[in-house]
Amino acid sequence: MADRYLTVAGTGVHEIEIRRSRFLCALAPVTSEEAAREVIAARKKADPAARHHCHAFVLGTDGSRSGPRDPRRERVPRIERSSDDGEPSGTAGTPMLEVLRRRELTDTVAVVTRYFGGVLLGAGGLIRAYGQAVSEAVDVIGVREYRRLRLVEVVVDYDRAGRLENDIRSSPYLLHATRFEDVAHFDVGVAPDQGDAFHAWLADLTGGEALTAETGETWLPNP
């Protein structure tokens, strides 16, 4: 299974114009086919006068993985879907999907809404236009990397909590969550090959007084 994957950094719409036709590409991160189809339906509702609402989406990875929002979820296989939505076969959905593949994006849906400008683009022109719309939208909206990390719960007394939290935030390890009860709890994401270094670093910072326990794995975004 992969230990990293890329998805779009957020939801957004980017527009290009080619020979008077407008191509509005909406991108969104999604973690299920149902969520992807909800985005597609929303775009159709937002632009009901448009001639075409072509789409492509990719979910999962070449192996399989748990989702970033629910690490307990069953592993899901890779899913790829696309639609030309009335454009000539292979001129819209396929080039859109190819951009997502080439950018190594997953858990991503792209919807390109086209307003016809009166000039026929031909098959080649449509392929280039739909691919360009998605590619430029990815550039504008950006990409986020998620990594599979081990979660380590760190427990310290309150007198060490403030400094330790600051040290974790400035370290190569990822602070996932904090809880303050009778003592301070920090859930820290640690790469599989960083385990020994993390425990040595933590022992040095706290004089060996921090308690730790591994609590599983999750997907966390790179800061």
The pLDDT tens digits of the residues spanning 57-94 come to 999 875 444 444 444 334 467 899 999 999 999 999 99
Per DSSP bridges, beta strands 174-180 and 184-190 are antiparallel
CATH architecture of the domain 147-221 equals 2-Layer Sandwich (3.30)
As a three-state string, the secondary structure of 140-185 is HHCEEEEEEEEEEEEEECHHHHHHHHHHHHCCCCEEEEEEECCCEE
Q: Where in the chain is the domain with CATH 3.30.230.30?
A: 4-141
The DSSP bridge partners found for residue 155 are 185, 211
Q: What is the pLDDT of residue 219?
A: 87
Q: Where in the chain is the domain with CATH 3.30.70.240?
A: 147-221
CB distance 7 to 105 below 8 Å: yes
The DSSP bridge partners found for residue 24 are 15, 113
CATH 3.40.50.10540 fits 4-141, yes or no: no
The pLDDT tens digits of the residues spanning 23-67 come to 999 999 999 999 999 999 999 999 998 989 999 999 987 544 444
Helix (H, G, I), strand (E, B) or coil at 33: helix
User: Which pLDDT band holds residue 117 (cuts at 50, 70, 90)?
Assistant: confident
Q: What is the pLDDT of residue 119?
A: 83
When comparing pLDDT for 182 and 27, which is higher?
27
State what percent of residues in the chain have pLDDT above 90. 75
